[in-house]
Amino acid sequence: MKLTKKSHACVRLEKDGRTLVIDPGNFSEEDAAVGADVVLVTHEHPDHFAEDRLRAGLEANPAAEIWTLRSVADQLSAAFPGRVHTVGHGDTFSAAGFDVQVHGELHAVIHPDIPRITNVGYLVDGSVFHPGDALTVPGQPVETLMLPVMAPWSKISEVIDYVREVKPRRAIDIHDALLTDLARPIYDRQIGGLCGAEHSRLTPGDSTEL
């Protein structure tokens, strides 16, 4: 499986000529979902869910479909009848040759005064886990953890402990649009030195084989 990092929280997975895209939000490229057979959205925040990115992808491929939680599905179902599927924690499904498990229920706490919204993570082919905006532990072995490295709701000690708890073979940074280039070496050194797994980051547009 080939993984391509897009900007911020968006990634593309390609296998056997099919493409799955997770979280094409407004920090991602305008064509982030173009070419997708399957799009997964973790939650409704605009840096993960941008309707114009999704519309571009679904219009480019009339067979493409979306799997997401209810708060997002309710905003899209009328525009794309029959192509939007609602999922929640514990669900499993297959789409375009990818097997997906859904884990998690709530967004991480930003501040006690801010109501928490729903959020789900996706484990693809039992190998790649994208948690969205939460530090959800899927409760089973993970080969590749897409690691939300910097967010208003996290601190680096929590990020490091999250990798330690999940115990993936490798962790690859996502949710990094707010992290300046000046600070990246600090994060790379501390996470890489303490997390207990192979840690790497990809420049948007770069790919790696899993």
Residue with tokens 């911020």: 8
Question: Which pLDDT score, from 0 to 100, does residue 152 have?
Answer: 95
Question: What's the average pLDDT block by block, 10 residues per block, for the chain (210 residues)?
Answer: 98 98 98 98 98 96 97 94 97 98 98 97 98 97 97 96 98 96 94 96 96
Domain total of the chain: 1
Question: Which pLDDT score, from 0 to 100, does residue 146 have?
Answer: 98
Spatial CA neighbour of 172 closest among 138, 136, 206, 140: 206
Residues with Cβ < 8 Å from 208, sequence gap 6 or more? 2, 3, 172, 200, 202
Residues with Cβ < 8 Å from 180, sequence gap 6 or more? none
Question: Which pLDDT score, from 0 to 100, does residue 100 have?
Answer: 98
Spatial CA neighbour of 39 closest among 57, 51, 26, 27: 57
DSSP string, 30-72: TTTTTT-SEEEE--SSTTT--HHHHHHHHHH-TT-EEEE-HHH
Instruction: Give the global pTM.
Output: 0.97
Boundaries of domain holding 67: 2-209
> What whole-number distance in Å separates Cα of residue 79 and Cα of residue 77?
5
What are the backbone angles phi and psi of residue 20, rounded to the nearest 5°? -120, 130
> What whole-number distance in Å separates Cα of residue 87 and Cα of residue 100?
11
Adjacent-strand bridge partners of 128: 124, 144
The CATH number that applies at residue 68 is: 3.60.15.10
